[in-house]
Structure 1
Amino acid sequence: MPDVRADARRDDRFRFGENWRSFIELVDDTRIAAAVHAVRDPLGVADLTGRTFLDVGCGSGLFSLAAQRLGARVRAFDLDPESVAAAAELRRRFAPGSDWDIEQGSILDARFVERLGTFDVVYAWGVLHHTGDLWGAIDATSRLVVPGGLIYISVYNDQGPRSRMWWRVKRRYNRSGSLARRLLVAASAAYLVRNAPLRRLMRAASADAGVSDRRVRPRGMSAWHDLVDWVGGFPFEVAGPEQVFGFLRSRGFELRHMTTCGGGLGCNEYVFERPVGG
């Protein structure tokens, strides 16, 4: 992969918060229920009552809300102030007065991370590969887990040359004007559904034309917002399952759950436990 950290210094970062501010207008009870299942099932728990939950790079705040619905005491943060605002708005709408703190911060800011403390569940889904320092971010995140606690992360799968191609697309997107960005999203949609029925391509084109996509994807997400996030998401790093497994095992963690994307496009997700005394 090219040097993502060098590019991050040139302010090529995707403005995730703008996408999330748009997404939260679609959030309803159906999406929240899907998010609750997406948090609860891989963790292998009935609920999170009495547990602390840290949402690293909270984005829209949907999964902080899911943890709150499961009974957790939630703390969330994001580097992007627009993401922080989106999460705060979601809290205002669906969980006013709840035990859910939201703030701006970076997982790569050692002084910020040090004052966070430790948590029963540390959640970072689709976040750490956008920091510009994937392994430093995973290491910092892992240090926030209490003995006996869980870390739940997902990382983009390493597809070799295809990943390098997407790295270039993403960098170009963030260096382009609005028209070029729309063309890149449309071209990417066509590429991603090139072997799919025509109706899927037509749906993608409709989304690009500004038609609201209200279909609920897994985890409660939106196909259109996920597409924009995918094309624009930069910095961008990838890792194979064996790399993530080896990295966290060397820090004393034990794998409890893993779902891969079958070697293709997307994220592999992992739940590791920090053993007591480990």
Structure 2
Amino acid sequence: MIDCETEINQGRRFAFGRNWLRFGQLIDEERIALARRSLESALGTTDLTGRSFLDIGCGSGLFSLAALRMGARVRSFDYDPESVRAAEKVRQEFAPDSDWTIGCASILDGAFVRQLDRADIVYSWGVLHHTGALWPAMEAACGLVAPGGTLYVSIYNDQGAESRIWTSVKRRYNRSGSMGRRLLLTGSMLYLGRNYPARAALTLAQRVRGTAGARVPRPRGMSRKHDLVDWVGGYPFEVATPEEVFSFCRERGFALRHLKTCKGGIGCNEFVFDRAAATGG
């Protein structure tokens, strides 16, 4: 199995971890509070005391930390070693003596997945579509939810032809040098902001100065600048319609409790499913 660093060097994978390490420098109590608020809203509770929380593809570790603050026992893992480093830095700074374990692994590694305990909440926001095997990754995530537990995932929305164009952009980004990447980022930002030209021009000027969206938290505590890089570079890249995700999970004994779509546009559709309490679904 080819490792993450080799895939990045071959231009077959975006360096998600490097982006998360940079974003991690921005994490503060305000961003943690926003992340926690988004978890509370989707899960419908403010208290996870006594519950286990599995974060598949933990990235910066921000949402693992938010779940920890809500009282959960947290286990996180990520395929990218740099993401693991980013999460470990967040743990050291904000939760040094906590019930939070972090490891480097892939959700597509069957041997690793089989040794995991089932969790009360399995969380994977914007990750499974970057594995290169979306539906096997979804299958593995579903299997890790304990009976009566919760699956919380977000998957990129299928926009048909436009999604295929973005796939080409992302592939080219990861095979380009630094100048090519800058051009793709700039062009993508102007395209995404085409309906708000003044705002796009201002963001471009800020980006040239290296300040675009860096200090003003987005919803969920994220950063506009780092989200842009993640969007343009995020490869492998797969998409699904809300109906496909719903049908896939329903067939495996899950009932939809929460849905937040991107209204047919670019971005992720967010799902919270409850698993039947009986082990047979």
Taking structure 2 as the reference length, the TM-score comes to 0.94
Report the AA paired with residue 265 of structure 1. Answer: I
Q: Find runs of 4+ consecutive structure 1 residues off by over 3 angstroms.
A: 7-11
Provide, for residues 79-138 of structure 1, a one-character-per-residue CA deviation record: whole Å limited to 9, x for no partner. 000000000000000111110000000000000111111000000000000000000000
Q: Residue 129 of structure 1 aligns to which amino acid in structure 2?
A: H
Q: Using the aligned pairs only, state the percent identity.
A: 60
In 2, distance between residues paired with 1:176 and 1:270? 34
Would the aligned equivalents of 2:193 and 2:199 in 1 still touch at CA under 8 Å? no
Cα distance change, pair 171–209 in 1 and its aligned pair in 2 (3 A)? farther
**Amino acid in structure 2 at the alignment position of 1:101:** T
1:124 corresponds to: 124
Is 1:262 the counterpart of 2:245? The answer is: no
| Alignment partners' CA distance in 2, 1:127 and 1:252 | 22
User: In 2, distance between residues paired with 1:204 and 1:23?
Assistant: 19
Q: Which residue of 1 aligns with 2:252?
A: 251
Secondary structure, in 3 states, of the residue corresponding to 1:26? coil
Work out whether 1:175 is the aligned partner of 2:175: yes
- Contact 2:31/2:221 (<8 A) preserved: yes
Q: Secondary structure at the match of 2:169?
A: helix
Note if contact 1:186-1:205 (Cα within 8 Å) is conserved in structure 2.
Answer: no
**Deviates further, 234-243 or 37-46:** 37-46
Question: Conserved in 2, the CA contact under 8 Å of 1:55 and 1:76?
Answer: yes
Q: 1:252 is aligned with what amino acid?
A: G
Structure 1 counterpart of 2:32, one-letter code: I
Distance 2:207 2:54 in 1: 33
1:223 aligns with 2:219: no
Give the C-alpha shift of residue 197 in structure 1. 4.0
Partner of 1:214: 215
What is the deviation of 1:262? 0.5
Amino acid at match of 2:256: L
Specify whether residues 113 and 130 from structure 1 end up closer, same or farther in structure 2 by C-alpha distance, changes over 3 A only: same
In structure 2, list runs of 5 or more residues that go unmatched.
Answer: 1-6
Q: CA RMSD in A?
A: 1.5
Deviation at 1:200, TM superposition (A): 3.5
TM-score normalised to structure 1 length: 0.95
Letter in 1 for 2:43: L
On the 8 A contact 2:12/2:236 being kept in 1, the answer is yes
Q: In the alignment, residue 122 of structure 1 is paired with which amino acid?
A: V
